[in-house]
């Protein structure tokens, strides 16, 4: 009798253990399938979707340039192809990661590489180019893709989105690329706004070229449509590179300062405006005696090196940039004609 009870208890115990093992197996298999279908990918963000900033003619000021990126799965063929286009340091870093079975994504710039089962070459839109037009006006982004300065900051609510374009490579539970499976490009093209400026890219480029060719290390230039008041170009120097912000953080020349919008004295270039106002108001024959300086209130304004130019007319004043003459001419004109 006792023996039968022992056998019955043992049988129930074995059945319980068997059911438990079966349950654990089912749960484990289900979990593995779930992870394999949803999570077992190595994902690389190619770029985040952000709205366009265009000029007055609808031409893109940002996001118009591309670099090539390659997503490589570990293989002898991949390493061989990459060795031909990468510098030694980048190649060694990629080789080390790939030796562990992990896929890698690399910026190969303008280089090209043929896509195959182990390599996928993808053109990726860059927000800023190497010589970004109107950099100070446009501003730049932080690591979360939000505007920090300029138009990027002022219209961040319009330009921002949660959209993205990613590449993903199937991997096993150890993060190693799975052979025989391709790299996928996935995207979430969220709705996003754009901003059109009054800037004209042709004029903007001409202004920036003039500043650079003229060797202007510190200064700015603005072009305004006198009829509408629309700003057609705005350039400040020195300039930073938005894709390498850290390079300019310690600079003593204040590359982040937009001199176009700063309270800086315009200097002798304003004499041209005074001369134009004088001609418009019939004072083109105005003359004065320059003694090297003149006093306005308690402030003395001197000419260069306090040089006395003697009797000066408009032509000579422009030629020698005589401060005394243009101060006297400005007083004669009054504020209204100058404004």
Residue 84 exposed, middle or buried by CB count within 10 Å (0-12, 13-18, 19+):
exposed
| Residue 82: strand, helix, or coil | helix
Task: Name the residue among 167, 69, 73, 66 with its Cα closest to residue 121.
Answer: 69
Q: What is the mean pLDDT of residues 181-186?
A: 82
pTM surpassing 0.75?
A: no
Q: What is the pLDDT of residues 268-300, one digit of tens each?
A: 989 999 999 999 999 999 999 999 999 999 999
Tokens of 206: 């001409």
Q: What is the pLDDT of residues 299-309, one digit of tens each?
A: 999 998 889 99
Task: Pull the structure tokens for residue 106.
Answer: 């690399």
**What are the chain's domains?**
50-63+129-163+194-264 (no CATH), 266-339 (3.40.710.10)
Look at residue 27 in the predicted model and tell me its pLDDT: 46
Question: Among candidates 129, 130, 144, 158, which has minimal Cα distance to 61?
Answer: 129
Q: What is the pLDDT of residue 13?
A: 63
Closest CA relative to residue 288, chosen from 251, 316, 254? 316
Distance, CA of 161 to CA of 15 (rounded, Å): 56
Nearest-angstrom CA–CA distance, 135 and 271: 29
Q: Taken in order 158, 162, 163, 165, is the CA torsion positive or negative?
A: positive
């Amino acid at each position: 009798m006792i023996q039968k009870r022992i056998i019955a208890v043992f049988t129930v115990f074995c059945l319980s253990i068997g059911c438990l093992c079966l349950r654990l197996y089912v749960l484990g298999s289900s979990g593995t399938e779930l992870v394999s279908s949803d999570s077992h990918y190595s994902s690389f963000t190619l770029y985040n979707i952000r709205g366009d900033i265009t000029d007055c003619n609808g031409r893109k000021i940002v996001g118009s340039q591309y670099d090539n990126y390659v997503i490589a799965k570990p293989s002898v063929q991949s390493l061989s192809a990459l060795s031909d286009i990468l510098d030694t340091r980048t190649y060694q870093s990629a080789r080390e990661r790939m030796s562990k079975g992990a896929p890698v994504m690399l910026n190969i710039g303008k280089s090209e590489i043929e896509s195959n089962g182990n390599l996928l070459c993808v053109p990726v839109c860059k927000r800023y180019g190497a010589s970004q037009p109107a950099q100070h006006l446009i501003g730049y982004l932080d690591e979360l893709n939000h505007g920090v300065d300029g138009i990027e900051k002022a219209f961040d609510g319009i330009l921002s989105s949660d959209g993205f374009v990613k590449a993903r490579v199937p991997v096993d539970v150890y993060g190693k690329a799975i052979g025989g499976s391709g790299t996928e490009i996935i995207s979430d093209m969220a709705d996003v706004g754009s901003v059109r400026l009054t800037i004209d890219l042709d004029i903007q480029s001409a202004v920036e070229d003039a500043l650079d060719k003229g060797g202007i290390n510190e200064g700015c230039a603005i072009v305004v449509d006198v009829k509408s008041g629309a700003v057609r170009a705005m350039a400040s120097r020195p300039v930073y590179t938005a894709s390498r912000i850290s390079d300019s953080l310690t600079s003593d020349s204040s590359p982040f300062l937009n001199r176009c919008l700063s309270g800086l004295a315009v200097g002798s270039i304003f004499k041209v405006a005074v001369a134009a106002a004088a001609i418009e108001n019939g004072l083109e024959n105005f003359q004065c005696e320059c003694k090297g300086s003149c006093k306005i209130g308690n402030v003395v304004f001197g000419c260069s090196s306090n040089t006395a130019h003697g009797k000066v007319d408009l032509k000579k004043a422009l030629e020698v940039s005589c401060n005394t003459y243009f101060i006297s001419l400005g007083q004669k004109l009054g504020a209204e004609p100058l404004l």
